[in-house]
Every structure is written in structure tokens, then in C-alpha cells.
Structure 1
Amino acid sequence: MTKFWRTVPVAVLALAVAACGADEPKATLELSGALPDKVPNGTTLRLGDPQLQAIIGAAGLDKELTDAGVKVEWANISGGPQSIQAFRADKLDCSSVADIPSLFAAWTGTSTKIVFQSVTVDPLEHPIYKLGVAPGVSVSSLADLKGKKIAYSAGQAQGALVLRVLQKAGLSQKDVQLVELTSTGDSYVTALGSKSVDVAPIGAQNIKIYEAKYPGATSIGTGIRDDASTLYCLTSAVSNAEKAAALKVYVRVRTKALLWANDHEAEVAKAYYVDTQGLSEADAKAVVEITGDKAIPSTWDAAIVRLQETANLLSQEQNHDKLDVNTLVDRRFEKVQAEAAGSQVVTGDAA
């Protein structure tokens, strides 16, 4: 891994930053150039990172952003479809997603870079998704998926998970009926409840709610690691010297907030799940316990290997062009978050 950790000299900037004048060109930064340390006053980041927004506020880390000169315009956006649409409209700089949206952004002509990677401690013990099974449908193992109608969204993490589940079960797309359905809100839960589909990946935190709402509803685990969690940004944002400097600060703050959340479950439950998502205190507490602690890896090597494997699978199953995922990752931020994590960084990667 090539390491960059020094202040970028003014000479490497493609354009000089004007002291004033809205029409003056912004400073650009080569993607191989070191991240600047100083944030020009008034630099704004447009972020779709709602959960971390709540956690940063609860932890009091928002002051660290303002003290560094970073202004954030928060957007209630996360996930692939919303973020890619906002990127194309130039309404957003970065968004929190799993790993799949970066692939689909590339395949559909939107240039992005991943600037943050986190993992779940004991990921198989704390899966992001389980397979919800419609009332009256018998599925007790992955082999039972044969012949079933499965909710599927090609451009989302849930869609990739379905393909990986089929691969693990020794099944192909021809062995099941994939029902195209974008996962937004409780759309998958509703589809299961109405028996429009037999099976759908549901966030683990929603399984109890689903099973309580629909008598006879069940669920099974996938046995597949699905904990990819990233922040990805428009390439134009990370190649803007001002925004790159602000992102360096934000990645540090985001790292601290994520680790703070591990030791402050009650505060996270209230700040995000109760106050912004409208869950009851009991449900919020259960969600936090289900999701498990997060960790910052010392290296992104393992995450990149997993992303390449997923890209290869999607390329094969969905007829996309071959893609080298190294082109989607901005490893300048790898050391930024590792240093912010300090002694809490996970050597290598959680397994």
C-alpha cells in the first residue's frame, strides 16, 4: 500500500485557491496527492449520513467539525438508489452505504471513491440481514429456496446478498423466481406480508417487528458475512482540495463517533432510533443490541478482496463489465481513520 501523510505543497495543486470571488476556480487535487491539513474557512460538505449525524451530535463531536472550519449540510439520504440519484443531480458529496452502490455507480457512469471502511465485530453473530419468509411458506434451510419467489434489487446490497445466498446453496437464478423490487422503507416487509414474494432479505433489526406483525412469518440466517459499511463520495469531491481537507477531518470525526457508539448504546438508541426513526425505547434498545459493535480495520485489504469477489459475481450474474475495484477506493483515507482509531484499531480485519 502506498502511504501519504503530509501536507500537500501548494505547487501540486492544479489551480490556486482564490481568496474571494464565487466565480473563481476551486483548487483541484490529484488523486495521488497528499490530503491537505488545513480546511479553508467556510468549506462545506454535503453528507447523506443520517445515523452518524445523530451519533456525532450525541457524542458532542460536531464541535470538532466546526472548530476545524468544516460546515456540513446534512441530507436525510443513505443507500444506493437515493445517493446515486443525488450524486447525478450534484446535490450530495458523500453518502453512507454498503459496498454495492460503488459498483453500480461505476457501471452506470457515476465516478465515486470509497473513503471509509468499517466492519462488525463478530460479523456472523451480528448479521445485517436475515431472510424473511412469508407466512405459510416453508423455508428452513437455504436449499429450500429452490422454486421460491425472492425479492431482488439488482443495485442494492440486498440484491448482491441474494446472489451470494444462491451461490452458497448451489442454486442458480433459474432455480428461483427473482422478483424485482427496490428495498425502500418497509417495502420488503410489506411484500412478504402480502405474499407477493416468498422470501426477502430484511434488516435483522426488523425481523422481530415483521414476525410480530404477520402471524406465521418466520426467518432464517444466511450464514454469509454481510457487514460491509462504507462512506463513498463523488470523485469530484475528493479531487477538490478544499473538500478533501474537510473530508479528512470528517473521516477522523466519523471514526471517533463510531467507536464512541460501541460504549454508549443507550445514547445511540435514543439519539437515532427513538428521536429520528420513531422507534419505541424497547425496540431501539433491541436494535442496538442486534447490530453489534463496529470496528476500524488497520488495513482495507480484506474489504477490497471481498468487494472484488462481489464485483466478479455481479459481473457474471448481471452481465456487467469486469471491474477492478481498486479504482473505486481512495486509500489515502485508510491511514486517516486508522490513526483516529488509535489503540482501538483492529489489526488486519475482523473475521
Structure 2
Amino acid sequence: MPLALLLPLTTACGGTDAGGSTDGRTVTVTVGYQSKTINTVTAGTLLRSLGYFEEELADRGREDGLTYRVVWQDYATGAPITAQMAAGKIDIGSMGDFPLLINAARGKQLKEPTRLVAVTGYNLRGGLNTVVTAPGSSLGSLADLKGRKVSTSVGSAADGTLVRALRRAGIDPAKDIRKLNQQPSVGASALSSGSVDALSQFVAWPGLLAFQGKATALYDGADLNLPTFHGVTVREEFAQRRPAVLDAFLRAQHRATDHLRKQPVAAAESVAKETGLPAEVVYLYNGAQGIATFDPALRPELIAALKEDVPVLKEAGLVTDVDVDAFVDPAPLRRAVPDLSYPKASGPKSELWLKGQSTIRTFDSPAALLKAVRGASVRAAYVPDAVTGTLWFADRAVWVGDGAAWHAFVTRSGAERYVSGHAGARIVAYADAVRLAS
């Protein structure tokens, strides 16, 4: 039996015989993914590059005598994946929590129901979404967004973060700002050109723009303290007709997750090569201490958060209602990976990636990182926010000196809140913090 074929199809195209048999002996499986949304790599970019799904299907083929053909389709957001799934042209897809709910609603509406069967990556506080402004912007907090133009992708997790954050700040997201519904790349360009005042986006756009020096963080999504995640959805008809194929996918995803955990630098380099994203940005989210935690398990905290997302989408008119309990189906993952367990949570640590090295050093304190950076040939340095734990680039963070201690913050407003509550604490430029740390 020949190995299953990997067809590098990266454009949104229809006509694929999804989940079907082209000649009676060849089964085509179509997977929709988002290469630039690196929180989904274990079900997309990394999984594809490792070839684990094809390996699992080849093993299956030796048992049942069929040949399996995998078609990978790459999209910028979850919306077109949902459209293709509703048309029966994509079998398995990965997307964020808000798009997953729209996926469930559209599938039911169009009589092509889908099921959430696994998670890719998550952050229990919501740190995967960030609101950023242009460097040098006069905007210092969400309150300053009143009357301003803000780019986001309506219906995305980043839009959900923006809506919730604005409401907590006493701002009506429907009346007090001018929201532009744009693709992430379009919004990034708009921010750079000055045609919008702020951008609310999901992984990895905020980190990418900050790394490039094109953006400054205004709001850390982790301040909401509400989980956000990406997950895997499957057409119900396909799952029922090809349960062994779905099992193969989930086993392959589990293997890709293990690979990412054990070889985070190699995984980041691989994803960078496939996507064109800087490896330093990929590692910010997907590294050993990264903003995202990777685990396929359908954790109860995540499902509870998904239920809290429904009213936000209903108010926006994007769904009428979603039965989350009916949408979530843990049975396939239990069947495919019966010994699955949650990863142990650990406090975030600072990390240092030196040029020319493939290993990354970790530090128990920001002060230790600052001392290690001094005089070193740094490729990237990462530090967790002192309150939210969100990892950020050390040279883009806002530093606070408090006696002999050093603290870093993703946003200036976060640093200012700390300083206001700690006598003697002061905001210090990164270069000065490196020089003064002892």
C-alpha cells in the first residue's frame, strides 16, 4: 500500500471531493487550517510539515486496503473554513473560539452540522488577543479609544476581546468607537499607514507587529481573565462516515503536540519556515514558556468560556443561539487518545535566546534575565507580565524598578497601575534597566 499523498494546496478553492472516494479505493480528506494563526499549528502548519496525519492514514490503509489522500487548504481566518465546511468541501478545520461558535451555528442552519472535537492551544486568561497602537501614539489606555477608528476582524476572538474590554472601561463598542471590519493583514497595514488608531487582533499579529517595531501594546487580553482558545471542528457526517480517519487525525495532532512540547525551538523554526513568520515571534506564543499552552483536551474551563462567548455573538447579530453542549463532542478524542492528561501548570519564566544557539535559557526572575542580557548577542529575550503572566519581548515591555526588584509589563497602563500602588517604584527604559540590574 503506497503512503498517503500530501498535496500542498494552499489556496481557498472548491470542488474537492471532501471525505469522499475518488475511485472507490482512494479516500480524499480535506483539512482547512490557518498557517499564520500559529495557535493552531498542531492541527495545521506543524502537523502538515511533520507528516504525522499521512503516516497515521498510511497505517490505516494497510489495514483496510484503501489509499488516503490529504488536501490541505490554508486560510487567513476561520470564516472561509466554515463556509467550505457548510458546503461539504472541508472535512476538518481549526479556528478560534468565537469562529467555532459561528461554525456550529452555520452548520446547524445549513444542515451540515459540525462538532468540536479537540483544542489546539489556549490561554486561560485570554492573553492570545491584544489591542495595539502605532509606536509613539498618544493613546495610553482603552479610555483613549473613544471616537477613534479601531480595526479588528468581526466575529473573531480578537473582536470579542475588544468588545468586552471596552465595556469594562465604560465605553460602548457600538457607539463610542468607529470599528472597521478588516482581515488581520489589512488592519496591520492600516495601522502602519495611520488610517486606523488601533488594531485588535489574535495570535500572532500583535506579537509580529511589536517585534517589527510597528506597534505598541495598548491592552493585554489577559486583563480580562477569561480563557481563549483555538480548536478542531469536524463535519458530523464525515465523523460518522469516517470515524477511523478522524481518530487518525486526533492521534496525529496529539503526536504533533508532544513534538512541540519536547522540541519547542525546532517546532518554532519549522513553523517559521513554513509561514514566513519570524521564529522569534512564533516562539513568543508557542515556546516552552509561551503565551499559548498546547493540549488537545476539551478542558471544562474552555467549554465554560465558550458558553460565555455566545451572548457576545448574539448581540452582534452573528448567531441566534448555539447549543454548546451539543456542539462539543469529547468521544472521538477519548477513543483516539485514551490516556490523554492535562499538562501541569507552572509559573511563567523569563527566557533568553542567543544568536547562533539552538537552546534557550530560562530565568526565575526578570532581574536575572536583565543581567544575562547585558553584553550578550541576543536573538530574543522574553519576560512575563508581572500581573497577567503574558510573555512579551523584553525590549518591547514596559519596565518598572521597585527597589532591588524589576518587573515587566506588556502595556504602559499596566506599569502605571503598579507604580501608583507602590511608593518608590518608577518606570525605567529597557536599556537603563539592563544597565542598572544587579
1:190 deviation in Å? 1.0
Q: 2:257 & 2:309 partners in 1: Cα distance?
A: 25
Confirm whether residue 105 of structure 1 aligns to residue 90 of structure 2. Answer: no
Q: 2:155 & 2:307 partners in 1: Cα distance?
A: 16
C-alpha change, 1:318 and 1:95, in structure 2 (3 Å) is same
In the alignment, which residue of structure 2 is the partner of 1:27?
Answer: none
In the alignment, which residue of structure 2 is the partner of 1:92?
Answer: 90
In the alignment, which residue of structure 1 is the partner of 2:246?
Answer: 247
In the alignment, which residue of structure 2 is the partner of 1:147?
Answer: 147
1:247 deviation in Å? 0.4
In the alignment, which residue of structure 2 is the partner of 1:129?
Answer: 129
Q: 2:256 & 2:210 partners in 1: Cα distance?
A: 32
In the alignment, which residue of structure 1 is the partner of 2:156?
Answer: 156
Q: 1:97 & 1:251 partners in 2: Cα distance?
A: 15
1:90 deviation in Å? 3.1
Deviations 1:276-315 (A, max 9, x none): 1123455554554344441343x54322211111012221
Q: 1:115 & 1:257 partners in 2: Cα distance?
A: 16
Structure with larger RCO (C-alpha < 8 A, sep 6+): 1
Letter in 2 for 1:63: E
For residues 322-337 of structure 1, the aligned pairs below 5 Å read: 322-336=321-335
* Kept after mapping to 2: 8 A contact 1:45/1:73: yes
Confirm whether residue 138 of structure 1 aligns to residue 142 of structure 2. Answer: no
Confirm whether residue 46 of structure 1 aligns to residue 44 of structure 2. Answer: no
1:106 deviation in Å? 4.1
Q: 1:300 & 1:279 partners in 2: Cα distance?
A: 29
* Kept after mapping to 2: 8 A contact 1:300/1:334: no
Letter in 2 for 1:56: L
Q: 1:229 & 1:216 partners in 2: Cα distance?
A: 24
Q: 1:281 & 1:346 partners in 2: Cα distance?
A: 24
Deviations 1:197-242 (A, max 9, x none): 2221234544454246566755331213453110112222223x2x
Q: 1:248 & 1:23 partners in 2: Cα distance?
A: 23
In the alignment, which residue of structure 1 is the partner of 2:47?
Answer: 56
Aligned residues with identical type, % of pairs: 20
Q: 1:57 & 1:205 partners in 2: Cα distance?
A: 19
* Kept after mapping to 2: 8 A contact 1:119/1:229: yes
TM-score normalised per structure 1: 0.73
Letter in 1 for 2:101: L
Deviations 1:96-141 (A, max 9, x none): 1012223223444343211112443x644x8222111135543333
* Kept after mapping to 1: 8 A contact 2:151/2:199: yes
C-alpha change, 1:292 and 1:106, in structure 2 (3 Å) is closer
C-alpha change, 1:86 and 1:261, in structure 2 (3 Å) is same
Letter in 2 for 1:140: G
Structure with more strand by fraction: 2
TM-score normalised per structure 2: 0.60
RMSD: 3.4
Letter in 1 for 2:229: A
Deviations 1:24-62 (A, max 9, x none): 9xxxxxxxxxxxxxxxx7433211235334433555634
Q: 2:163 & 2:215 partners in 1: Cα distance?
A: 26
Matched pairs, number? 305
* Kept after mapping to 2: 8 A contact 1:98/1:229: yes
* Kept after mapping to 2: 8 A contact 1:192/1:200: yes
Q: Which has the larger radius of gyration?
A: 2
C-alpha change, 1:337 and 1:198, in structure 2 (3 Å) is farther
Unaligned runs of 5+ in 1: 1-20, 25-40
In the alignment, which residue of structure 2 is the partner of 1:268?
Answer: 267
* Kept after mapping to 2: 8 A contact 1:135/1:215: yes
1:153 deviation in Å? 2.7
In the alignment, which residue of structure 1 is the partner of 2:57?
Answer: 65
Unaligned runs of 5+ in 2: 1-20, 36-40, 62-67, 348-387, 389-438
Confirm whether residue 256 of structure 1 aligns to residue 240 of structure 2. Answer: no
